């Protein structure tokens, strides 16, 4: 037996007696003579979801339901709460908890008795984040943007002080915006770049602009750091960035950020086209569409759209 196994076995013995006491107390507190008592269930979980269907293993479904409930409760849950969530007797719930505990998926605070997610569950969830391909995930959304708007849709990421374009859905219009994949644009002089800057932690932003001259790509490019900071505040407030001929004369662009699981900027998408078609009257419509699409992609890749500025 390894040291880790000994520690886990010791912890299990220490909590078993306490849990048995809780089970007995819960059973004693149950309503008698058929008195009805409303059951509490987790927010967002349909009633009876813990029960088996379609031949699935009941124990597996119940165990996964327990993990879902614990994942939604970072402070932990008591045995009685978990039993109500899965609609099982405390004794049955306790056996499932012990099985998950022995496999390293959950842990229990010895003093409070609360059950919590353990590191093994985190590793499994994290494997999805490591394996995700957000560019491939985003491509159907880019094509949908082009089909809806008639304009070119792009996806770009940050590389130091530049945007690198990794994916594109090209407009079929004769006059259209075309960007070669792998091409670059300054962060401060593009819609995608400003969308990324807006949600960047302040220290990263300062590192990027420190000692760097914000070159003007066109007469409309923001070249003053203080004015850029002000615009980034507005971008966070409204949920999208606008490039009004700041990267190229004659082209306008609306962009929004894709976020990772921590709410940090992972990439940004945009819709770009000639000023004749993307004028000020059309910008609000496109902005709402691009921002909503960015939220959809963020959710699809397991990310989190933040509601507050980065710390």
Q: Please state, in angstroms and rounded to a whole number, the distance separating the CA atoms of residues 59 and 200.
A: 44
- Measured CA to CA, the distance from residue 186 to residue 176 in angstroms comes to 21
Residue 50 has pLDDT above 50, yes or no: no
Q: Are 149 and 142 in contact, with CB atoms under 8 Å apart? A: no
Query: Residue 107 falls within a domain, yes or no?
Result: yes
Note the pLDDT tens digit of each residue in 194-241.
999 999 999 999 988 887 888 999 999 999 999 999 999 999 999 999
Q: Return the SS3 of 117.
A: strand
- Does residue 83 form part of some domain? yes
pLDDT at 240: 96
Tokens for 185? 């644009």
Last residue of a domain, one of 109, 128, 147: 128
From 102, 128, 154, the end of a domain falls on 128
3-state DSSP assignment of residue 5: helix
From residue 145, alpha-carbon distances to 138, 139, 286, 292 in Å are: 11, 10, 9, 11
113 and 153: one domain?
A: no
Q: How confident is the model at residue 126 (pLDDT cuts 50, 70, 90)?
A: low
β-partners of residue 255 are 241, 270
**Same domain as 33, residue 99:** yes
- Tell me what pLDDT residue 288 has: 96
* Residues 264 and 146 both lie in one domain: yes
Least confident span in 36-45, 72-81, 99-108, 204-213: 36-45
Residue 10 pLDDT: 53
Q: What's the pLDDT at 186?
A: 92
CATH number at residue 249: 3.30.450.40
Question: Residue 309: inside a domain, yes or no?
Answer: no
Query: Is residue 16 included in any domain, yes or no?
Result: yes
Pair 167, 295 in one domain: yes
Give pLDDT, residue 229. 93
The verdict on 122 and 137 lying in the same domain is no
pTM for this one?
A: 0.62
The residue range of the domain holding 93 is 3-128
Query: Does residue 17 share a domain with residue 66?
Result: yes
DSSP state of 205: H
Domain for residue 267, yes or no? yes
Residues 138 and 286 grouped into a single domain: yes
Answer yes or no: do 180 and 276 share one domain. Answer: yes
Helix boundaries (H) for the chain: 3-28, 58-71, 79-86, 90-102, 119-131, 134-149, 191-198, 202-209, 225-238, 283-300
Structural domain includes residue 308: no
For residues 138-165, give the mean pLDDT: 93
Q: Are 186 and 161 in contact (CB under 8 A)?
A: yes
Q: Is the same domain home to 195 and 242?
A: yes
Question: Please, which residues have CB within 8 angstroms of residue 145's CB and are 6 or more apart in sequence?
Answer: 151, 153, 169, 269, 271, 289, 290, 293
pLDDT above 80: residue 25: no
How much is the pLDDT for 219?
A: 94
Based on the domain organization, do 168 and 294 belong to the same domain? yes
Residue 56 confidence class, pLDDT cut points 50, 70, 90 = low
Q: Please report, for the domain that includes residue 103, its CATH number.
A: 1.10.10.10
The CA distance from 137 to 142, in Å, is 10
| pLDDT higher than threshold 60 for residue 18 | no
Residue 22's pLDDT is 54
Question: Which of 60, 95, 128 represents a domain boundary (last residue)?
Answer: 128
Instruction: Indicate the pLDDT class of residue 42, thresholds 50, 70 and 90.
Output: very low
Using CA atoms, how far residue 263 sits from 17, 75, 242, 273, 307, in Å, is 41, 21, 21, 29, 9
How many structural domains is the chain composed of? 2
Asked if 75 and 173 sit in the same domain, the reply is no
Are residues 293 and 176 located together in one domain of the fold? yes
Q: For the ranges 25-34, 62-71, 272-281, which has the lowest average pLDDT?
A: 25-34
Give the whole-angstrom CA distance, residue 261 versus residue 259: 7
Mean pLDDT of 52-63: 70
Q: Is residue 305 part of a domain?
A: no
- pLDDT confidence of residue 8: 54
């Amino acid at each position: 037996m390894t040291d880790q196994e000994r520690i886990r076995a010791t912890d299990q013995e220490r909590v078993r007696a306490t849990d048995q006491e809780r089970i007995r107390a819960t059973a004693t507190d149950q309503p008698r003579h058929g008195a009805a008592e409303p059951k509490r269930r987790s927010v967002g979980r349909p009633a009876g979801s813990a029960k088996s269907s379609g031949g699935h293993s009941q124990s597996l479904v119940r165990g996964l339901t327990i993990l879902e409930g614990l994942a939604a409760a970072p402070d932990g849950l008591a045995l009685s709460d978990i039993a109500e969530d899965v609609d099982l007797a405390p004794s049955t719930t306790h056996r499932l908890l012990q099985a998950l505990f022995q496999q390293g998926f959950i842990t229990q605070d010895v003093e409070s008795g609360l059950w919590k997610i353990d590191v093994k569950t985190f590793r499994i969830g994290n494997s999805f984040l490591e394996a995700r391909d957000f560019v491939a995930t985003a491509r159907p959304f880019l094509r949908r943007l082009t089909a809806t708007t008639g304009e070119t849709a792009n996806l770009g990421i940050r590389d130091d002080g530049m945007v690198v374009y990794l994916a594109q859905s090209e407009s079929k219009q004769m006059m259209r915006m075309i960007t070669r994949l792998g091409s670059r644009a300054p962060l401060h002089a593009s819609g995608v770049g400003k969308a990324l800057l807006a949600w960047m932690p302040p220290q990263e932003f300062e590192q990027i602009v420190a000692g760097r001259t914000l070159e003007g790509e066109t007469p409309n490019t923001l070249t003053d750091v203080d004015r850029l900071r002000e615009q980034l505040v507005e971008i966070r407030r409204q949920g999208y960035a606008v490039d009004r001929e700041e990267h190229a004369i004659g082209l306008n662009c609306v962009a929004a950020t894709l976020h990772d699981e921590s709410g940090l900027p992972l990439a940004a998408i945009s819709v770009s086209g000639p000023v004749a078609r993307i004028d000020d009257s059309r910008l609000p419509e496109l902005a709402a569409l691009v921002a909503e699409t960015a939220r959809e992609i963020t959710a699809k890749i397991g990310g989190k759209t933040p509601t507050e500025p980065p710390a």
